Amino acid sequence: MAHMTPDIETPAVLIDLDIAEANIAAAQAHFDGLGVRFRPHIKTHKIPRLARLQLREGAQGIAVQKLSEAEVFVAEGFEDILLCFNLLSPTKIERLRALSTQCHLTVVADNLATVQALSTGFADSADRLSVLVECDTGMGRCGVQTPQDAADLAYEIEHAPGLHFQGLLTYPAVQGEVAVQTFMSAAKALCITAVGHCETISSGGTPTMADAALAPVVTEYRAGTYIYNDRSLLARGACTLADCALTVLSTVVSRPTPTRAILDAGSKSLTSDLLGLQGYGHVVEFPGAQITALSEEHAILTLPPDQPGPAIGQKLHIIPNHACPVSNLMDQVYFHRSGTLIAAQKVAARGCVT
């Protein structure tokens, strides 16, 4: 964990490049071993420099969650992008079409209204837009509900002007790979019957990476948080403390009582996501303490009784519950290697939520 902190004003986000690079290499090796294309999701880090490291290791394209993220990465020269979000507004689809002339784009749809909106925007395009049907295999978020629904929507996409049915996509529930295999195998067969092809089966998520072999129907896997890891993944046993590349550096600004310390990193730095956990982060220097409450600019650190706690002015390293929102809370992060500061790095797609 980093300790090169005297000149860094807090709160600040630190990224250990040694750990991040090791995480990139391990994930890529895992999917190379399975013979599955790996497409990292950049919404976790939002930094082109890190995405280039992922591609250099062997990743095939990137995934983004929002159109504005895609625009940032296209401007940085990225050529193969999957946009994992339904687009409906004519303005966004006009922006999407402009991007499609600069890179290979694939998008998703889980309803006919989205398909019709995309077709209206691409009907007279020289190149058809590739579309994946999003399927709900147990997460309970977006996605068609049955394999037959997937095939029906695939038929509509393939016959819509300007569109090409490319395949299927899901974001599975934790421990949901068996359900992915069952749903996607059935949907693939029905789609081939309906339209004659189903080239891509895209699944993914860091919590299910270790179980990816249980869904051999999948041809492409997406994951994002793995590059940093976080406390939620620690709790699931998906990583160790040594695999956590991102920490939030915070300063103790008050010690009102022997069992309470106040830090300068609140919800605007740590995120208020709980993800089923108790408290708002793991404090590396005081693992027995708990961040029990957040306001916008303050964290309340509750300390065990009769144990020494941090001094006013001491800087602490916090592994947040969820790394992805933290990236969108900071204009820049600090890259280091085992405590040696490398550079302040702009978070290029920070605030790209449209």
What digits encode the pLDDT tens for the residues 19-41? 999 999 999 999 999 999 999 99
Q: Give pLDDT tens digits for 246-275.
A: 999 999 999 999 999 999 999 999 999 999
Are residue 79 and residue 174 in the same domain, yes or no? yes
> What per-residue confidence (pLDDT) applies to 307?
82
Are residue 22 and residue 169 in the same domain, yes or no? yes
Are residue 73 and residue 213 in the same domain, yes or no? yes
In a domain, 326, yes or no: no
Q: Give pLDDT tens digits for 291-320.
A: 999 999 999 999 999 888 999 999 999 999
In a domain, 343, yes or no: no
Are residue 186 and residue 102 in the same domain, yes or no? yes
What pTM value is reported for the model? 0.95
Are residue 192 and residue 155 in the same domain, yes or no? yes
Count of domains observed in the chain: 2
Are residue 122 and residue 271 in the same domain, yes or no? no
Are residue 183 and residue 300 in the same domain, yes or no? no
In a domain, 133, yes or no: yes
In a domain, 256, yes or no: yes
In this model, does residue 3 exceed pLDDT 60? no
- C-beta of residue 15 within 8 angstroms of C-beta of residue 336: yes
Sign of CA dihedral 283, 287, 289, 292: positive
Are residue 135 and residue 52 in the same domain, yes or no? yes
> What per-residue confidence (pLDDT) applies to 338?
83
Range of the domain at 192: 17-227
- Which of 201, 227, 253 delimits the end of a domain? 227
Q: Which CATH number belongs to the domain containing residue 317 in this structure? A: 2.40.37.20
CA atoms of 156 and 158, how far apart (whole Å): 6
Are residue 194 and residue 176 in the same domain, yes or no? yes
Q: Is 313 exposed, middle or buried (0-12, 13-18, 19+ CB in 10 A)?
A: exposed
- Which of 192, 227, 262 delimits the end of a domain? 227
Q: Which CATH number belongs to the domain containing residue 155 in this structure? A: 3.20.20.10
SS3 37: strand
In a domain, 179, yes or no: yes
Greatest distance between any 2 Cα atoms in the chain: 72
Q: Give pLDDT tens digits for 158-213.
A: 999 999 999 999 999 999 999 999 999 999 999 999 999 999 999 999 999 999 99
In a domain, 327, yes or no: no
Are residue 198 and residue 257 in the same domain, yes or no? no
Are residue 222 and residue 236 in the same domain, yes or no? no
Q: And the tokens for 113? A: 């209204």
In a domain, 171, yes or no: yes
What is the separation of C-alpha 263 from the centre of its chain, rounded to a whole number of angstroms? 27
> What per-residue confidence (pLDDT) applies to 308?
87
Are residue 170 and residue 56 in the same domain, yes or no? yes
Angle at 144 between CA 30 and CA 168, to 5 degrees: 40
- Which of 192, 209, 227 delimits the end of a domain? 227
Mean pLDDT of 104-119: 98
In a domain, 303, yes or no: yes
Provide the mean pLDDT of the chain.
Answer: 96
SS3 155: helix
